[in-house]
Amino acid sequence: MDRQYPNIYLAADNCFAKKRWPAPREWAGVIADLGVRYVEASADTELDPFYMGEAYLRDWPQAVQEAQAATGVRVCNLYSGHGSYTTLGLTHFDPRVRRHMIDRWFKPLVETAAALGAGFGFYAHAFSESILADPDRYAAHCGYLLDALTELNEYAEQLGCGPLCLEQMYSPNQVPWTISGTASLLREVTRRSGRPFYFTEDLGHHHDRFLMPSREALREAFRDPETDIWLGSQEAYDRFDAARVAGELSDAACDEILDLMRQAPRYFESREDTDCYAWLRALGCYSPIIHLQQTEGRSSAHCPFTPEQNRRGKIRGRAVLEALKESYDRPDQAGMPPRCEKIYLTFELFAGTSQTTRSILKEYAQSVRYWRQFIPQDGLPLDELLRRLPEEETELEEQPVLHFQPVSTAQGL
């Protein structure tokens, strides 16, 4: 049987437009001028239910539809922003807050997405230190998260909303943050809700700070008190500190610390989890939204794809598409949702408060120009995009101006 590959679209999260081009007609026009035709509308850009209120949210889809008609862009997805990212949200220690987030924040945005025929992606929860330290409470809060995601996915089904997807993160207190944990979550929510549930891969959400250290790494950190070593639980740190006080890290102490770490796997990632390309190969086919940012692999700064950032960064367009194709070439995974038929490679580039608008637009234009090497036309199948690629990437400074090729109405606009 021939493998079915997804249609690929280049999109832009409008978070860069907050406080500068906040109205739909404004950000839609700016994004259209940049050569992008698909928009991920951020809650931070005048769309947060807690700040905007019910009347504004009811009128917002009409304003977007008018902006779409005027500019030719289309809102393909809604997404949570920084405001909700700062809260414990769906895993709050107080059940009243969890209920409030579901009813007053999430459901209004599901309704708004459904009104536009769009999908909805988000991340709005976390596990506090006290929860992370207690296995029983941690398990209970994981249950709260699954319950909430199931309810929201069922609600999205009732309204005819597009795919819901949860963003993967990169620290133990932000679940899901490992490949295996993400796959398990997708299976469980899909099973419970009877509707496919997906995730968002962010290419900058990977680093190696939370790997489980080896015996040799423990001894090296013991010799150098300035070394910041990750041991996970407080019990492991207490045992390590006790060895420092005693002036000796014995084999028995090493064994005890290693055992304590192995008993708390929720604190640690695998080497594979540190690599965005490994994530794409393993789970990319279950990610209808892939957030694009340039990164050196040590931080998630949401940098643009400028020549300078590309020289420092590890994200390469060809490598992203090739890794994504590998996920479709793999055998089907039992219990997982259907593979995505459309994937939006979506810029999530942050603009500094003091950055000039000219600088923001210049860097964004360079980013679009870089990625149009790989996605010259929206809606093409992934395998066709790969066949069209030149042998080597062109340095940005040497590139000719790339003209955007619009697709027909039948292909998505």
Task: Report CA-CA distances (Å) from 83 to 96, 109, 291.
Answer: 19, 14, 18
pLDDT digit string, tens, across residues 102-121 = 999 999 999 999 999 999 99
In this structure, the number of other CB atoms found within 10 A of the CB of residue 346 comes to 27
pLDDT digit string, tens, across residues 184-209 = 999 999 999 999 999 999 999 999 99
pLDDT grade for 316, boundaries at 50, 70 and 90: very high
pLDDT grade for 297, boundaries at 50, 70 and 90: confident
- What pLDDT score does 225 carry? 86
Report how far residue 289's alpha carbon sits from residue 120's, in angstroms, rounded to the nearest whole number: 10
pLDDT digit string, tens, across residues 3-28 = 899 999 999 999 999 999 999 999 99
Considering all CA atoms of the chain, what is the largest pairwise distance in Å, rounded to the nearest integer? 73
Per-chain mean pLDDT for the chain? 94
- What pLDDT score does 399 carry? 46
Does the pLDDT of residue 404 top 70, yes or no? Answer: no
- Are 291 and 202 within 8 A, CB to CB? yes
- Are 372 and 402 within 8 A, CB to CB? yes
Higher pLDDT, 83 or 386: 386
Report how far residue 292's alpha carbon sits from residue 299's, in angstroms, rounded to the nearest whole number: 14
Task: Give 367's contacts (C-beta < 8 A, 6+ positions apart).
Answer: 292, 304, 305, 306, 347, 349
- What pLDDT score does 363 carry? 97
pLDDT grade for 250, boundaries at 50, 70 and 90: very high
pLDDT digit string, tens, across residues 327-384 = 999 999 999 999 999 999 999 998 989 999 999 999 999 999 999 999 999 999 999 9
What are the extents of the domains in the chain?
7-207+273-411, 215-265
Three-state secondary structure along the chain?
Answer: CCCCCCEEEEEEEHHHHCCCCCCHHHHHHHHHHCCCCEEEEECCCCCCHHHHCHHHHHHHHHHHHHHHHHHCCEEEEEECCHHHHCCCECCCCCHHHHHHHHHHHHHHHHHHHHHHCCEEEECCECCCHHHHHCHHHHHHHHHHHHHHHHHHHHHHHHHCCCCEEEECCCCCCCCCCCHHHHHHHHHHHHHHHCCCCEEEEECCCCCCCCECCCHHHHHHHHHCCCCCCCCCCHHHHHHHHHHHHHCCCCHHHHHHHHHHHHCCHHHCECCHHHCHHHHHHHHHHHCCEEEECECCCCCCCCECCCHHHHHHCCCCHHHHHHHHHHHHHCCCCCCCCCCCCEEEEEECCCCCCCCCHHHHHHHHHHHHHHHCCCCCECCEEHHHHHHHCCCCCCCHHHCCCCCCECCCHHHCC
Report domain 7-207+273-411's class: alpha beta
